[in-house]
Structure 1
Amino acid sequence: MAEITHQILDKKSIVKQVLIALVVGTILLVSAVLPAEYGIDPLGIGKATGFSKLYVGEANTETLASVPHKILQLENVGSGAEVPKPAAADNPAPATQLAERTDEVNVVIPAGKGLEYKVDMLKHGNLRYEWITDKGELYFDFHGEVKNNNNYFESYTIAYSNNMVGSLLAPFEGPQGWYFKNNSNEDITVKIRMKGQYLLKQ
């Protein structure tokens, strides 16, 4: 019967590994967590790596100063606790969904401005999508509104990016889609490909 041997680490090796783990953890905290979660970037690493753009608190109020009030609410993630969820959001899903379709659209986001692109969906309808810009990145809020009630909306994803791939199971009937904000000084075109159970908004 073979003898099982275990390598026993000496105290110096254990201390060395603990110190390495602490150094790596500190680097991640300073370069990623603090810039993305709290807008704190003492070394400028978050700005260089793009993590600071994920912070949507007070650090971004300067770039959002010229945005209308309604959009400022939207960029603060959802319509807020002060807006009650409409009773229609809890209606049951229909027995029959919309017919599946496929579309590709190009949406031009003017320099320094924002706009929305949405499709109409029934509750529990499926949507698979991908979008990409022709140049540069956009701020976006992927969200949905309850039918006939544009005061209440839910945000699903908020970030800065030049592309996104994903899917959505609509939580309620109503418009579902994206708000794009172009902070650059030139127009950006977004190509959106969609497949699912929806209707293009007229």
Structure 2
Amino acid sequence: MQSVPASAGGLIRSTLLAAGGAGAILTFFWLPAEYGIDPTGVGALTGLTEMGEIKQQLEAEAEADAQAAAVAPPLPPPQTVAAAPEIIARLDRIDAQLAAISAVIGTRPSPEDTATVAPLAADPAPEDVAPASPDPIEAAVAEAVAPEWRDEVSYTLNPGEGIEVKLAMEAGQVALFYWTANGGAVNFDLHGDGGGQNLSYEQGRAVPEQTGELVAAFTGNHGWFWRNRSDAPVTVTLQTGGEYAQMKAP
């Protein structure tokens, strides 16, 4: 290590070198990454300028959304909707299939009974073999694992237009979701607010669709803000299920 001469000239020279290094970091890296400002062109080569532009765009959209939410009238209370006949019929079919599963499991021989089972008869001729019927267990499992969506909404966004949909959730609740731009692509911000807290879970640019789980970090409203940055209208469709009190949509 080389010590700095304890003189006025040495201290001034060290200060100028440190200021020059900080200015280079500020110009070459920090301004492009944070604000999309790239006076030297290095940010464009490293991808930092694009990252800064995305940050600035998403921050502007989130600020516009917050201002719109502050002046928007309160949402009306949710209305109770009666279950559709097709949903009731589907539930009845699932109950019947579960009963069939219980019956099949209940009649299977235990290991102790296998010793007394009579020998099998000779295999019938190929022309006498009846076609196998579908396994009721496999059919019931296939239908039971299909997603059960509670709510579904669709909105058509004109170029430059944005929209927000949120779920009222308690801390720790888990909601399932799937949204698609139906062949297009949108910018999105998955975030939450409530009780003086604000949190951005994920942001994206020009995304065609997304599916997953939303785990509420705190009690409040958690959901999505989409904006259409393309030159043509885009229809966004959202399906949700799982744990939440209600959907808050325009």
How much has 1:136 moved relative to structure 2?
Answer: 2.5
Which of 115, 130, 135 is matched with 2:163 structurally?
A: 115
Distance 1:121 1:68, change over 3 A: closer
Tell me if structure 2 keeps the 8 A contact 1:46–1:52.
no
Match of 1:188 in 2: 234
How much has 1:68 moved relative to structure 2?
Answer: 8.8
Distance 2:160 2:217 in 1: 32
Q: What TM-score, normalized by structure 2, do the two folds share? A: 0.43
Distance 1:104 1:136, change over 3 A: same
How much has 1:46 moved relative to structure 2?
Answer: 8.3
How much has 1:125 moved relative to structure 2?
Answer: 1.0
Distance 1:106 1:188, change over 3 A: same
Tell me if structure 2 keeps the 8 A contact 1:37–1:55.
no
Matched, 1:201 2:248: yes
Structure 2, gaps ≥5 residues long? 1-31, 68-147
Match of 1:154 in 2: 199
Distance 1:168 1:158 in 2: 14
How much has 1:177 moved relative to structure 2?
Answer: 0.5
Match of 1:132 in 2: 180
Structure 1, gaps ≥5 residues long? 1-34, 74-100
Which SS does the other structure have where 2:160 is aligned? coil
Distance 1:185 1:128, change over 3 A: same
Which SS does the other structure have where 2:232 is aligned? coil
Match of 1:9 in 2: none
Distance 1:133 1:165 in 2: 12
Tell me if structure 2 keeps the 8 A contact 1:54–1:159.
no
How much has 1:106 moved relative to structure 2?
Answer: 1.3
Distance 2:53 2:236 in 1: 20
Distance 1:55 1:114 in 2: 16
How much has 1:116 moved relative to structure 2?
Answer: 0.5
- Paired residue type of 1:180: W
Let me know the Cα RMSD of the aligned residues.
Answer: 4.1
Which SS does the other structure have where 1:56 is aligned? helix
Distance 1:174 1:160 in 2: 25
Tell me if structure 1 keeps the 8 A contact 2:34–2:52.
no
Match of 1:55 in 2: 54
Q: What do the CA deviations read for 1:96-137 (whole angstroms, capped 9, x no partner)?
A: xxxxx7222212223212120112111211111121102322
How much has 1:190 moved relative to structure 2?
Answer: 1.0
Which structure features the higher share of helix residues?
2
Distance 1:190 1:36, change over 3 A: farther
Q: How many residues align?
A: 138
- Paired residue type of 1:156: Y
Distance 1:142 1:181 in 2: 12
Q: What do the CA deviations read for 1:52-89 (whole angstroms, capped 9, x no partner)?
A: 598314xx49xx5xx6954489xxxxxxxxxxxxxxxx
Q: Superposed, which structure 2 residues align to 1:1-202 within 5 Å? A: 39=36, 55-57=54-56, 60=57, 69-71=63-65, 102=149, 103-146=151-194, 152-162=197-207, 163-198=209-244, 199-201=246-248
Distance 1:53 1:113 in 2: 22
Tell me if structure 1 keeps the 8 A contact 2:177–2:241.
yes
Q: What TM-score, normalized by structure 1, do the two folds share? A: 0.51
